[in-house]
Chains A and B, each alone.
Chain A
Amino acid sequence: MPVTSLSRRTLLKASAALAGTVAMPSIVRAAPKEIVIGGPAGAAKYFNESVFPLLKQKLGVTVLYEGTNSLTNLQKMQADKAAPKFSVVIMDDPVMIRAAAEGLIVPMQASAIPNLGKLVPGAVHLDGMWANYQLPWAGIAYNTKSGAPTSWADMWAPSHKGKVIVPSIQNTEGFWNLLIAAHLETGKPLAEAQYDIDAGFRKLKSLVPSLLNVYTNAPQAMNLLEQGEADMIGGQFSAYTLTRKMDGAPVDLAIPKEGGFAMPSGIAKITGGPASDLADAVIDAFLGPDVQQVLATKAVVTPTNLTTPRPAGYPDPATLFAPDWGFVAKERGKWAERWTTELL
Chain B
Amino acid sequence: MAGLTRERRTAYLLGLPAALITAALFLVPLALLFAVSFTGADGFSLSAYARLFGSEHYLWVIGNSLQLALITTLVTLVIAYPASFAIARAKGVWRSLLLGSLLLPLAASVIVKAFAWTILLRSTGIVNNTLIALGLIHEPIRMIFTETALVIGAVNVFLPFMILPIFAVVAQMDERLTEAAATLGAGPVAAFWRVTVPVTLPGVIAGIALVFSLTVSAYVVPTLLIGERYPTLPSTIAKAYLLTNEGSFGAAAGVVLLTIALAVVIVSSRLGKAPGAAR
Residues on A lying within 8 angstroms of B by beta carbon are 71, 98, 162, 168-170, 208, 211-217, 220, 223-224, 227-229, 333, 336-337, 340-341, 344
Contact = CB atoms under 8 A, between A and B. Distances in A.
Contacts of A224: 118, 122, 144
A216 B245 contact: no
B192 to A, nearest CB: 44
Interface size classification for chain B: 20 to 34
Contacts of B243: 169-170, 336
B228 A220 contact: no
Interface in B84-129: 115, 118, 122-124
Contacts of A170: 228, 239, 242-243
Contact of A344 (B55, B145, B231): B231
Contact of A213 (B115, B227, B242, B245): B227
A229 B123 contact: yes
Which of A168, A228, A337, A340 has the most chain B CB within a 10 Å cutoff? A340
Which of B115, B227, B245 has the most chain A CB within a 10 Å cutoff? B227
A213 B236 CA distance: 18
Given A169-B243, A215-B228, A216-B228, 19 more contacts: A98-B245, A168-B227, A168-B228, A170-B242, A208-B229, A211-B229, A214-B228, A216-B223, A217-B223, A220-B115, A220-B118, A220-B224, A228-B124, A229-B123, A229-B124, A336-B243, A340-B57, A340-B236, A344-B231
Q: Which 3 A-B pairs have the closest CB atoms?
A: A214-B228, A341-B57, A213-B227
A227 B239 contact: no
Contacts of B244: 333, 336-337
Question: Chain A interface mostly helix, strand, loop or mixed?
Answer: mixed
Contacts of B223: 216-217
A333 B228 contact: no
Contact of A215 (B55, B124, B227): B227
A341 B51 CA distance: 12
Given A170-B242, A341-B57, A214 B122 contact: no
21 contacts: A169-B243, A170-B242, A211-B229, A212-B144, A213-B145, A213-B226, A214-B228, A214-B229, A215-B227, A216-B227, A217-B223, A217-B224, A220-B115, A227-B122, A228-B124, A333-B244, A340-B57, A340-B228, A341-B55, A344-B228, A344-B229
Contacts of B239: 170, 336, 340
Interface in B212-253: 223-224, 226-229, 231, 236, 239, 242-245
Nearest to A227: B122
B142 interface: yes
B227 A227 contact: no
Nearest to A344: B229
